[in-house]
Chain A
Amino acid sequence: MSELAIRRGAAPALAVRGLGYAYPHSARPALEDVSLEVAPGEFVLLAGRSASGKSTLLKAACGLVPHFHGGEIEGEVRVADLDAIVAGPGELAAAVGYLAQDPETQVVSTTVAAEIELPLEMRGDEPADRARAVEEVALALAIPHLLDRTVDTLSGGELQRVALAAALVTRPRLILLDEPTSQLDPVAGDELIWLLRRLNEEWGVAVLLAEHRLERCLAAADRVVAMEAGGISFDGPPADFLAWASDADPALETPAARLFSLAGIDPLPVGVRDARQTLRGMGVGHPPQPAIRRVPDPHPSDPALEAKNLWVELDRGEDLRDVLKGIDLTIRRGERVALMGRNGAGKSTLLRTAAGLYEPVAGKIAVNSIALLTQNPGDYLVRERVGDELLGEQGMVALRVLGLEDKIDADPRDLSGGERQRLALAIALAGRMEGEHLPGVVALDEPTRGMDHARKDDLVGLIGDLAERAAAVVVATHDVEFASAFADRVVLLGDGVVIADGPTEEILSGGWYFATEVARVLDLPGVVTPEQGAAALAEERR
């Protein structure tokens, strides 16, 4: 088929037939009998729990499977009429772009301009063509101002855009994205999804997007494909997907859909606008506003963390920058606090300062013993046996508190993601407890990156257990839905200062970006979870 025919969309952007694949030395296949077609210009959302085969399917579509990873493959994968099992990723690069979760390992050049130009250079394009393509893709992604910057000076969101530009610069017909928003704050995440939608509409690029936070992108999708245990369990329009998910796998429901399910409203909405229109059509205007629950101070005289006029300065390469600017904050034992804010707002810096990794330049911070789990739990695991990570009876107490006493002889690498996170927390807690009493503060920095709904529910349970044992649990997170599930208080940071601090229901219902989907649908102060929303709707109906 000629290139012109392909560009006009004569062939499907992606055609997968009877695809089966097993990674080398793997006991069970990662993909089994997968058949799927993505039409040119279609926006397809790939849903499913962790390890359901989403990432492997994307890697098969760009040629990394089997060319880079090896393993055994059967069936057929065609990308813009190229056989992806025969052609390697380099040859497929003209037809398909791929963007993975971690933007750090997706850049190979020093400057942004060189990074974007590299695929064209590898293809042997003429200098004038390369210059124009780089300029156009930079304009399309609104990053011309970044072209002269070095990649190590970019934020996570900027880096993700640069990696996307490098994937798009060859003008592929199909772009594959594997949880691209998992490391982005709500603002940058929403911007990326709508940027994809715009590219999809204006450039006609077909999009296959794997994502756990479905509420963020369902409204942008034309179609949803759900995967389970390496196979496809659902394939259809977003509205039908929600109806299927409420019966087959409620963990895949969006908060707005769950709100409608609980309130007995049909059809389930694919987004905020859809939900509002349905409610308006039903004559549901302004349900009564519930009273905001004020959390009683659990131990009024016993602050676990107290910061007074806290200033922290960090060296960001070229010069010093104030990252925290006069923070005043008191957190007491038993509180569950979500620390939120944009990337670079100072959340991690505050936790690290509390844990003694950074010294304040002014003000003070007093902490009644703290165990901090940083963003990568794997960094804590350095030995090959769980029991070797911890010493004596105190170590065993920490394992017991985290429910890992039966894993003592396991290799940390053989544990599930959730177990590894618990083990890392046990390592941070070991010796900081008196008997089974936890330290004053247990802090978690972005613990839900790449987690599916089921694992997040487990984590909510763990946080509840820790708070019941009288620890103040402070979690830095971008995930507003997760924050609404575990926190009784939200502290919102903006550029190093506290810009909001209050009960979760108040803070997460009072904005747009830092608001849950239910809050955006109902716009009711104090209503952030589907259960609260359903109760408010039931009240109005009465």
Chain B
Amino acid sequence: MKSPFAYQPRPRPLQLASPGAAVAYLGAIVAVAFLYSNPLVLVAAGVAAVTAGLLAGARRAVEFALKMGLSLALLIVVVNALVVSRGETVLARLGDWPLLGRVDVTLEAIVAGLSGGLRAAVAMIAAAVYSACVDPDRVLRVLRPLAGRSALTATLVSRLVPVAAADAVRLRDAAQLRGPAAAPVGKAPLARRLLAGSLDRAVDVAATLELRGYSLDAPPARARRRRSRYDRRFYAVAAAVLVAAIAGKALGADDFQTYPTVEIGLGPATLALSVLVALSGLAPLRRRSVSSLFGMGEQSRHAEVARV
């Protein structure tokens, strides 16, 4: 089964944009999440990341990232509630716990945990959208002249990860198919076998790289310029989001305090910034051509791929 986070080429603006433009755009959303603690702004950044992923066709990646991100957010909330006893609004007194000592669950600790959890979830969703929508070959091509060895390592890893994942599935199936009187396969022998198999695979992949001329000392090839009419849009949205985020910070849009009591600022600057950040998720929107409305969508899709 293919990983939901694996890159899938689609004729959508985010996939057609250059890696720089896509990274700038998704990076701006993540930057907002790390600059701000206000839950409203964080929710807006999350909405932007989810919308961008859905418009780019990465539904499965978004769904998986949402599940993982929200699970992580929940974990952060629980851990924060148990280990931090600051805050005036005590919701539950859980007595003395080993290692943790006296545990008082406060509303403030829960909200602080929620803020941190939302930040992690936004970063996770944006990373999933990046992984599913940005062509790793193009990214490696950009990196290769700057850091050849790192690009080589990344190439090997990017190829070996899916191969090792497939090997792991096969080994797990074979372990299931062993007869009842065969020695059971524990995790350690299985992991050892997977590692040995991965090393063999790595040797094969390294041989292929050698045959493709990776070890040649040729002058770095000029990148093939692939035009995309969407680059400007993504750069512009990224710049607008970053400028607004920095300006908003100066204007007090991140008005948020957790201790001793929760105070969430919902002033005009916060609301305006939240709306702008949430709307930035529409950047990968593709204008529907008139022809697609008359059932020629498939043709126009192919034409678009051909143009790019």
Interface residues of A in 491-536 (CB under 8 A from B): none
Q: Pick out which of these stretches binds chain A: B3-11, B85-93, B227-235.
A: B3-11
The contact of B219 among A98, A124, A392, A395, by CB within 8 Å, is A124
Interface residues of A in 375-400 (CB under 8 A from B): 376, 378-383, 388-392, 394-395, 398
Write out the residue numbers on chain A whose beta carbons fall within 8 Å of the beta carbon of B163: 104-105
The reply to whether the CB of B260 lies closer than 8 angstroms to some CB of chain A is no
Kindly state the separation between the CA atoms of A429 and B60 in the bound complex, as whole angstroms: 39
The reply to whether the CB of B222 lies closer than 8 angstroms to some CB of chain A is yes
Q: Is the interface of B mostly helix, strand, loop or mixed?
A: helix
Write out the residue numbers on chain A whose beta carbons fall within 8 Å of the beta carbon of B300: none
Sample of 14 more A-B contacts, CB < 8 Å, known A91-B216, A93-B213: A90-B214, A93-B211, A108-B156, A110-B137, A150-B8, A352-B173, A374-B173, A378-B197, A379-B170, A380-B174, A382-B193, A427-B178, A430-B180, A430-B182
Number of A-B contacts (CB under 8 A): 191
Whether B212 lies near A107 (C-beta < 8 A) is no
Whether A382 lies near B185 (C-beta < 8 A) is yes
Q: Hey, what's the 0/1 contact readout for B191-210 against A, CB within 8 Å counting as 1?
A: 01100010001001111111
Whether B218 lies near A106 (C-beta < 8 A) is no
Whether B179 lies near A122 (C-beta < 8 A) is no
Whether A108 lies near B210 (C-beta < 8 A) is no
Whether A371 lies near B179 (C-beta < 8 A) is yes
Can you name the residue of chain B whose Cβ is closest to the Cβ of A432? B179
Identify which of B60, B183, B209 gathers the most chain A CB atoms within 10 Å of its CB.
B183
Can you name the residue of chain B whose Cβ is closest to the Cβ of A124? B218
The reply to whether the CB of A111 lies closer than 8 angstroms to some CB of chain B is yes
The reply to whether the CB of A88 lies closer than 8 angstroms to some CB of chain B is yes
The contact of A382 among B1, B173, B190, B214, by CB within 8 Å, is B190
Write out the residue numbers on chain B whose beta carbons fall within 8 Å of the beta carbon of A382: 175, 185, 189-190, 192-193
Write out the residue numbers on chain B whose beta carbons fall within 8 Å of the beta carbon of A67: 210
The reply to whether the CB of B257 lies closer than 8 angstroms to some CB of chain A is no
Given contacts A107-B208, A318-B8, is CB(A122)–CB(B183) below 8 Å?
A: no
Whether B216 lies near A90 (C-beta < 8 A) is yes
Q: How many residues of A contact B (CB 8 A)?
A: 75
The reply to whether the CB of A404 lies closer than 8 angstroms to some CB of chain B is no
Q: Hey, what's the 0/1 contact readout for A315-355 against B, CB within 8 Å counting as 1?
A: 11110000000000000000000000000000000001001
The reply to whether the CB of A123 lies closer than 8 angstroms to some CB of chain B is yes
Kindly state the separation between the CA atoms of A114 and B159 in the bound complex, as whole angstroms: 13
Whether A88 lies near B210 (C-beta < 8 A) is yes
The reply to whether the CB of B288 lies closer than 8 angstroms to some CB of chain A is no
The reply to whether the CB of A130 lies closer than 8 angstroms to some CB of chain B is yes
Kindly state the separation between the CA atoms of A268 and B22 in the bound complex, as whole angstroms: 64
Whether B204 lies near A105 (C-beta < 8 A) is yes
Kindly state the separation between the CA atoms of A148 and B180 in the bound complex, as whole angstroms: 46
Write out the residue numbers on chain A whose beta carbons fall within 8 Å of the beta carbon of B212: 90, 93, 108, 118-119, 122, 166
Given contacts A90-B211, A90-B213, A357-B173, is CB(A390)–CB(B183) below 8 Å?
A: yes
Identify which of B156, B176, B177 gathers the most chain A CB atoms within 10 Å of its CB.
B177
Write out the residue numbers on chain A whose beta carbons fall within 8 Å of the beta carbon of B290: none
Whether B6 lies near A152 (C-beta < 8 A) is yes
Interface residues of B in 146-189 (CB under 8 A from A): 155-156, 158-159, 162-163, 166, 170-171, 173-183, 185, 189
Whether A383 lies near B223 (C-beta < 8 A) is no
Whether B225 lies near A127 (C-beta < 8 A) is yes
Kindly state the separation between the CA atoms of A100 and B181 in the bound complex, as whole angstroms: 37
Kindly state the separation between the CA atoms of A153 and B211 in the bound complex, as whole angstroms: 23
Can you name the residue of chain A whose Cβ is closest to the Cβ of B192? A382
The reply to whether the CB of A431 lies closer than 8 angstroms to some CB of chain B is yes
Write out the residue numbers on chain B whose beta carbons fall within 8 Å of the beta carbon of A153: 2
The reply to whether the CB of A121 lies closer than 8 angstroms to some CB of chain B is yes
Write out the residue numbers on chain B whose beta carbons fall within 8 Å of the beta carbon of A148: 9, 305
Enumerate 22 A-B pairs (CB-CB under 8 Å) in ascending A order. A90-B212, A93-B213, A108-B155, A108-B212, A117-B224, A121-B141, A122-B218, A123-B216, A124-B220, A127-B225, A130-B224, A150-B9, A153-B2, A317-B2, A317-B8, A357-B177, A379-B170, A379-B171, A389-B182, A391-B182, A391-B183, A392-B181
Write out the residue numbers on chain A whose beta carbons fall within 8 Å of the beta carbon of B181: 390-392, 394-395, 398, 430-432
- Nearest-neighbour CB distance to chain A for B275, whole angstroms, equals 33
Kindly state the separation between the CA atoms of A149 and B222 in the bound complex, as whole angstroms: 23
The reply to whether the CB of B299 lies closer than 8 angstroms to some CB of chain A is no
Kindly state the separation between the CA atoms of A107 and B137 in the bound complex, as whole angstroms: 12
Whether B159 lies near A108 (C-beta < 8 A) is yes
- Nearest-neighbour CB distance to chain A for B181, whole angstroms, equals 3
Can you name the residue of chain A whose Cβ is closest to the Cβ of B204? A105
- Nearest-neighbour CB distance to chain A for B156, whole angstroms, equals 8
Kindly state the separation between the CA atoms of A62 and B211 in the bound complex, as whole angstroms: 8
Write out the residue numbers on chain B whose beta carbons fall within 8 Å of the beta carbon of A317: 1-2, 6, 8
Can you name the residue of chain A whose Cβ is closest to the Cβ of B163? A104
Kindly state the separation between the CA atoms of A390 and B181 in the bound complex, as whole angstroms: 6
Kindly state the separation between the CA atoms of A431 and B182 in the bound complex, as whole angstroms: 7
Write out the residue numbers on chain B whose beta carbons fall within 8 Å of the beta carbon of A389: 182-183
Write out the residue numbers on chain B whose beta carbons fall within 8 Å of the beta carbon of A130: 221, 224
What 7 A-B pairs come out closest when comparing CB atoms?
Answer: A431-B181, A317-B2, A431-B180, A122-B213, A114-B137, A394-B181, A105-B204
The reply to whether the CB of B265 lies closer than 8 angstroms to some CB of chain A is no
The reply to whether the CB of A196 lies closer than 8 angstroms to some CB of chain B is no
- Nearest-neighbour CB distance to chain B for A123, whole angstroms, equals 5
Kindly state the separation between the CA atoms of A381 and B185 in the bound complex, as whole angstroms: 10
Whether A111 lies near B180 (C-beta < 8 A) is no
Kindly state the separation between the CA atoms of A376 and B220 in the bound complex, as whole angstroms: 40
Kindly state the separation between the CA atoms of A355 and B175 in the bound complex, as whole angstroms: 12
Whether A89 lies near B159 (C-beta < 8 A) is no
Can you name the residue of chain A whose Cβ is closest to the Cβ of B9? A148
The reply to whether the CB of A64 lies closer than 8 angstroms to some CB of chain B is yes
The reply to whether the CB of A155 lies closer than 8 angstroms to some CB of chain B is no
Kindly state the separation between the CA atoms of A398 and B180 in the bound complex, as whole angstroms: 11
- Nearest-neighbour CB distance to chain A for B58, whole angstroms, equals 10
Write out the residue numbers on chain A whose beta carbons fall within 8 Å of the beta carbon of B166: 104
The reply to whether the CB of B27 lies closer than 8 angstroms to some CB of chain A is no
Whether B173 lies near A122 (C-beta < 8 A) is no
The reply to whether the CB of B136 lies closer than 8 angstroms to some CB of chain A is yes
Given contacts A107-B159, A108-B209, A379-B170, is CB(A355)–CB(B177) below 8 Å?
A: yes
Write out the residue numbers on chain B whose beta carbons fall within 8 Å of the beta carbon of A120: 221
Interface residues of A in 65-111 (CB under 8 A from B): 67-68, 88-91, 93, 98, 100, 102, 104-111
Can you name the residue of chain B whose Cβ is closest to the Cβ of A69? B207
The contact of B207 among A68, A123, A432, by CB within 8 Å, is A68
- Nearest-neighbour CB distance to chain B for A144, whole angstroms, equals 11
Given contacts A357-B177, A382-B190, is CB(A110)–CB(B7) below 8 Å?
A: yes
Whether A432 lies near B180 (C-beta < 8 A) is yes
The reply to whether the CB of B255 lies closer than 8 angstroms to some CB of chain A is no
Write out the residue numbers on chain B whose beta carbons fall within 8 Å of the beta carbon of A314: 1
The reply to whether the CB of A10 lies closer than 8 angstroms to some CB of chain B is no
Whether A105 lies near B201 (C-beta < 8 A) is yes
Q: Hey, what's the 0/1 contact readout for B273-284 against A, CB within 8 Å counting as 1?
A: 000000000000
The reply to whether the CB of A125 lies closer than 8 angstroms to some CB of chain B is yes
The reply to whether the CB of A207 lies closer than 8 angstroms to some CB of chain B is no
The reply to whether the CB of B63 lies closer than 8 angstroms to some CB of chain A is no
Identify which of B8, B9, B155, B208 gathers the most chain A CB atoms within 10 Å of its CB.
B208
Whether A427 lies near B182 (C-beta < 8 A) is yes
Identify which of A93, A106, A118 gathers the most chain B CB atoms within 10 Å of its CB.
A118
Whether A64 lies near B213 (C-beta < 8 A) is no
Can you name the residue of chain A whose Cβ is closest to the Cβ of B11? A148
Kindly state the separation between the CA atoms of A249 and B129 in the bound complex, as whole angstroms: 59
Whether B178 lies near A380 (C-beta < 8 A) is yes
Kindly state the separation between the CA atoms of A109 and B1 in the bound complex, as whole angstroms: 19
The contact of A125 among B159, B162, B221, B225, by CB within 8 Å, is B221
